[in-house]
Amino acid sequence: MASVRQFQVTFDCADPERVARFWCKVLGYVVPPPPEGFATWADFGRSLPPERQGVGFACGDPTGVGPRLYFQRVPEGKVVKNRVHLDVRVGTGLIGEERVAVLEAECARLVALGAKRVQLLRADGFNESCLPMLDVEGNEFCLD
């Protein structure tokens, strides 16, 4: 059997650092230290040729368990629904109104960070309630 491989999740976006810092707050991720010889990522960015400045930004799980997230600048805006999205698992093991209350509380926190609420999808007898949302650039994700 093949071993499990590490992977990263890559987001196309207009402003990589802004989107990365949003997801850091959502997931408790951290921005790695800048390369040796630079006090900040901004200092590092200024050392690059103009066409390379701000083209990417990354963050990761401080425990090393979750995947690295990479955000890359692309020229085109988002025009269609994501084919892949993140489920932020805040209601795991909860059901009914207790689950809805946790989803709503996390939704309120994320809206304050710039996310947009889509709608609460209530349990239907097969799936538990979840709450689809949009990140700061309109990428879909769910509170699950």
SS3 annotation, 60-97 = ECCCCCCCEEEEEECCCCCCCCCCCCEEECCCCCCCHH
Q: Domain limits at 117?
A: 86-143
- pLDDT digits 0-9 by tens, 70-125: 999 999 888 888 888 999 999 999 999 999 999 999 999 999 999 999 999 999 98
Instruction: Judge if 14 and 63 occupy the same domain.
Output: yes
Q: What pLDDT score was predicted for residue 7?
A: 86
Instruction: Judge if 16 and 67 occupy the same domain.
Output: yes
DSSP percent split of the chain into helix, strand, coil, nearest 5? 25, 25, 50
What domain count does the chain have?
Answer: 2
- pLDDT digits 0-9 by tens, 57-73: 999 999 999 999 999 99
Instruction: Judge if 107 and 138 occupy the same domain.
Output: yes
Q: What pLDDT score was predicted for residue 125?
A: 83
Report the distance separating Cα 29 and Cα 64, nearest Å.
Answer: 10
Q: What pLDDT score was predicted for residue 102?
A: 97
Report the distance separating Cα 35 and Cα 50, nearest Å.
Answer: 18
Among 31, 50, 73, the domain-final residue is 73
Q: What b-and-e string marks burial along 55-72, b requiring 16 or more CB atoms within 10 Å of the CB?
A: eebbbbeeeeeeebbbbe
Among 73, 107, 122, the domain-final residue is 73
Instruction: Judge if 102 and 134 occupy the same domain.
Output: yes
DSSP 35-47: PTT-SSHHHHHHT
Instruction: Judge if 49 and 97 occupy the same domain.
Output: no
Cα–Cα distances (Å) from 12 to 19, 22, 46, 56, 132, in that order, read 10, 14, 22, 9, 19
Global confidence as pTM: 0.88
- pLDDT digits 0-9 by tens, 18-28: 999 999 999 99
Q: Are 73 and 13 in contact (CB under 8 A)?
A: yes
Instruction: Judge if 55 and 100 occupy the same domain.
Output: no
Confidence of residue 131 (pLDDT cuts 50, 70, 90): very high
Q: What pLDDT score was predicted for residue 1?
A: 61
- pLDDT digits 0-9 by tens, 1-44: 667 778 899 999 999 999 999 999 999 999 999 999 999 999 99
Task: Say which amino acid occupies 142.
Answer: C
With respect to residue 117, please indicate whether it lies within any of the assigned structural domains: yes
**Pick from 57, 50, 62: nearest CA to 11:** 57
